[in-house]
Amino acid sequence: MLIYFSQTGNTQLLAQAIKKNVENSDIIYVGFWTDKGNASKEALDYLKTLHHQKIFLFGTAGFGKSDDYFKKIIDKVKESIDESNEVIGSFMCQGKMPETVLQRYLKLKEGNHAPDNINLLIDNYYEALKHPNNDDIENLKKAIA
Ligand SMILES: Cc1cc2nc3c(=O)[nH]c(=O)nc-3n(C[C@H](O)[C@H](O)[C@H](O)COP(=O)(O)O)c2cc1C
């Protein structure tokens, strides 16, 4: 079974790419977008309803480049999963963010209170625009194979 939560289409893109691969599986593939370092509330609410299931988590996040960061998110999501379930695997990649995020960064940069890492944030915004890409999709397919 495949279920996903996607606000702007990134996670949906991943879900559609693996739809055929996960047909008739007894594993529940749960896709989520990242909100405040965790899965979105809707995804967490759904995960909390699961018991005695095999779960594969896949998600997209605006920030990336670090497996550590992705691991932290997955660990956070797991806190909402009952121990009777088994998380058999997980996958995360970056996902583009709305342009309002860039506008916010640019405003911050112009002002007097710009964070030290503002240029990194802006670079990350442009990097995220390229995701999910074909490599991400291939990597997800490998992760579920
Ligand atoms: C309200 C909001 C909060 C977000 N919080 C985070 C966050 O804490 N960490 C992160 O890496 N990305 C964050 N993002 C970026 C999204 O997780 C990212 O763009 C994701 O790919 C969106 O997936 P979707 O297109 O499936 O909705 C946030 C986006 C929004 C709109």
Q: Is there an atom of ligand 1 within 6 Å of 121 CB? A: no
Confidence at residue 65, expressed as pLDDT on a 0 to 100 scale? 80
Closest C-alpha to ligand 1, atom 2 = 35
Is position 8 within any domain?
Answer: yes
Closest C-alpha to ligand 1, atom 27 = 7
In the predicted structure, residue 130 carries a pLDDT above the cut 90 = yes
pLDDT digits (tens, 9 = 90+) for 7-58: 999 999 999 999 999 999 999 999 999 999 999 999 999 999 999 999 999 9
- Joined tokens for residue 118: 């503002």
Confidence at residue 78, expressed as pLDDT on a 0 to 100 scale? 98
Is position 118 within any domain?
Answer: no
Single pTM value for the model? 0.96
Distance 33 CA to ligand 1 centre (A): 6
Is position 60 within any domain?
Answer: yes
**Confidence tier at 111 by pLDDT (50, 70, 90):** very high
Is position 49 within any domain?
Answer: yes
Q: Residue 81: CB partners within 8 Å, gap ≥ 6? A: 47, 48, 50, 55, 87
Is position 125 within any domain?
Answer: no
The number of domains in the chain is: 1
Residue whose CB lies within 8 A of the most ligand 1 atoms, among 3, 67, 97, for a mutation test: 97
Number of H helices, E strands in the chain: 6, 5
Confidence at residue 9, expressed as pLDDT on a 0 to 100 scale? 98
For residues 1 and 5, what is the distance between their CA atoms, to the nearest angstrom? 14
pLDDT digits (tens, 9 = 90+) for 54-100: 999 999 999 988 899 999 999 999 999 999 999 999 999 999 999 99
Instruction: Say which CATH number the domain at 32 has.
Output: 3.40.50.360
Is position 85 within any domain?
Answer: yes
Residue whose CB lies within 8 A of the most ligand 1 atoms, among 13, 34, 130, for a mutation test: 34
Is position 109 within any domain?
Answer: no
For range 134-139, the mean pLDDT: 98
For residues 26 and 30, what is the distance between their CA atoms, to the nearest angstrom? 13
Confidence at residue 66, expressed as pLDDT on a 0 to 100 scale? 87
Closest C-alpha to ligand 1, atom 9 = 37
